[in-house]
Structure 1
């Protein structure tokens, strides 16, 4: 991390208990990217790590959000309404008050975090979306689509999807992409192996060059 990048961890109260915001802010940031984690894990996913590295290097403030259920040590995520109810006040707290982070605001995350970002983008008046491994459906249940959530993604948005993602391949996602959404394919499944780092870096570097700074 550059000596000119400030790193802080903020605990923010929500209706579901305290959540954590891991903030990395370079001087004169172009704007802010806020990313949420999936339902089965924390902030260590490789696509979240690569997104933070690439976007920070491109001059964006980057925030990784820990939902209250994860902060509390629970192993299972709450229902979607509880995730949204925690996400919104956390992002709003980052954008207001002393030390507030700058707009434009890019919201996103991986898997369940991408769903939360889509559902709440309108409330937060987000300027763009970054959706990693969007779970269009549960594995083996392609008839139970979440396309109505994807339709709420901001314009513009970018989706980074594994070619073998059992929650929805790029081919399955493509017919449901809303206007202004760009799909980038990366070799891999829903959770990427370490060998996907190079392809993820390439995809996210392309996206960083297109964000509405």
Structure 2
């Protein structure tokens, strides 16, 4: 799986590292890359906002093209990275499917500004692993969206945007990461047949 980071954290953030490690446990080879704005930030360019969508998609496409067997490579990401993966697939990228952890269905508090228009026409299967209390789309909010037949959801118990549960839930972040990775692995196996 080619795994893209979210808007605010690099490819080696705690979440990206934990999820990559959890996917590898299930036999999924994971490659990570950084969008240009994040690479500039890492090189000492200070905190920068994400590049515009065409730049993000071009960088994702270049990273996919560099993969040894891109036609067998799932694409996905955390939040914005997952959204870009879904847009790349919607544009016809030759991939077997998309996996997103914490899809940004809408900006927090802006329920009318959805980022779902392309999802009903997605030509490949997509799995979204979403925390039930994610401010970018809770389970209750997402239930009302038209996502299309190729989009499936795995709801992470008590999870936030990073799939992290509250202590009072009795769950751990590690357990939620592991469960999401298991769901993603099973999805990739099914979609590869």
TM-score, structure 2 as length reference: 0.81
Which residues of structure 1 form unaligned runs of 5+? 1-32, 95-99
Structure with the higher strand share, 1 or 2: 1
Which residues of structure 2 form unaligned runs of 5+? 166-171
Q: Which residue of 2 aligns with 1:68?
A: 36
Q: Which residue of 2 aligns with 1:6?
A: none
Q: Give the RMSD, CA atoms, in angstroms.
A: 2.1
Q: Does 1:91 align with 2:59?
A: no
Is the Cα–Cα contact under 8 Å of residues 111 and 132 in structure 1 kept in the other structure? yes
Q: Which residue of 1 aligns with 2:173?
A: 196
Partners of 1:153 and 1:46 lie apart in 2 by 30
TM-superposed CA distance for 1:129, in Å, is 0.9
Residues 114 and 152 of structure 1: is their aligned pair in 2 closer, same or farther, counting only changes over 3 Å?
farther
SS in 2 for 1:69: helix
Structure with the higher helix share, 1 or 2: 2
TM-superposed CA distance for 1:161, in Å, is 0.7
Is the Cα–Cα contact under 8 Å of residues 157 and 182 in structure 1 kept in the other structure? yes
Q: Which residue of 1 aligns with 2:152?
A: 182
C-alpha offsets along residues 55-102 of structure 1, whole Å, 9 cap, x if unaligned? 2222222111111111111522111111112111121122xxxxx246
Partners of 2:96 and 2:88 lie apart in 1 by 12
SS in 2 for 1:70: helix
Q: Which residue of 2 aligns with 1:169?
A: 138
Partners of 1:58 and 1:103 lie apart in 2 by 20
